[in-house]
């Protein structure tokens, strides 16, 4: 839980103290916002999102991931290392082969919810696009 902070702005009659207090009670700490932003920065790279998407339903080796993502093995390995450092993927060695998988179902949910949101957003904008054409 976040500690109560003094609100520094908008202390006039337009502030809704009941709503602000409710938000303040659940507000993350600054270090938690920094950590959250770090995840979004990593996920801001399309190649990394593509790698994660490839791992939605299958454990794959780095060579397969590279081929599916149209990356060199070296580039795929570098992206996978970044994803691993944030515990977004896990790996295991089997002989000479390194296998990768999503770290947990939270990552799968994040990808699926984001895809559903995009599909919804695209569906919402379609009527506007059709009206503009007509």
Q: What percent of the chain has pLDDT over 90?
A: 71
* Four-way CATH pick for 26-126: 3.90.1150.10, 1.10.3720.10, 1.10.10.10, 3.40.50.2300: 1.10.10.10
| pLDDT score, position 126 | 73
131 has pLDDT over 60: no
**Res. 8 pLDDT band, cuts 50 70 90:** low
Q: Which of 36, 27, 15, 121 is nearest to 86 (CA)?
A: 36
| CA atoms 99, 103, 106, 111: torsion sign | negative
Q: Is 13 helix (H, G, I), strand (E, B) or coil?
A: coil
Residue pLDDT, tens place only, 79-120: 999 999 999 999 999 999 999 999 999 999 999 999 999 999
* Cβ-based neighbour number of residue 123 at 10 Å: 9
Please check whether residue 122 is in contact with residue 84, taking contact to mean a CB–CB distance below 8 angstroms: no
- d(CA 91, CA 60) in angstroms, rounded, equals 9
Domain segments of the chain as ranges: 26-126
């Amino acid at each position: 839980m976040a500690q109560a902070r003094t609100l520094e702005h908008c202390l006039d009659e337009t502030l809704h103290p009941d709503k602000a207090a409710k938000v303040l009670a659940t507000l993350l700490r600054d270090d938690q916002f920094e950590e959250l932003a770090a995840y979004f920065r990593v996920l801001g790279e399309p190649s990394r999102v593509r790698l994660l998407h490839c791992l939605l339903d299958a454990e794959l080796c780095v060579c397969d991931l590279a081929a599916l993502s149209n990356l060199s093995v070296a580039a795929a390995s570098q992206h996978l290392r970044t994803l691993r450092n944030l515990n977004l993927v896990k790996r295991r060695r089997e002989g000479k082969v390194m296998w990768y998988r999503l770290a947990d179902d939270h990552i799968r949910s994040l990808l699926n919810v984001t895809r559903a949101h995009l599909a919804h957003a695209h569906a919402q904008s379609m009527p506007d696009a059709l009206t503009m054409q007509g």
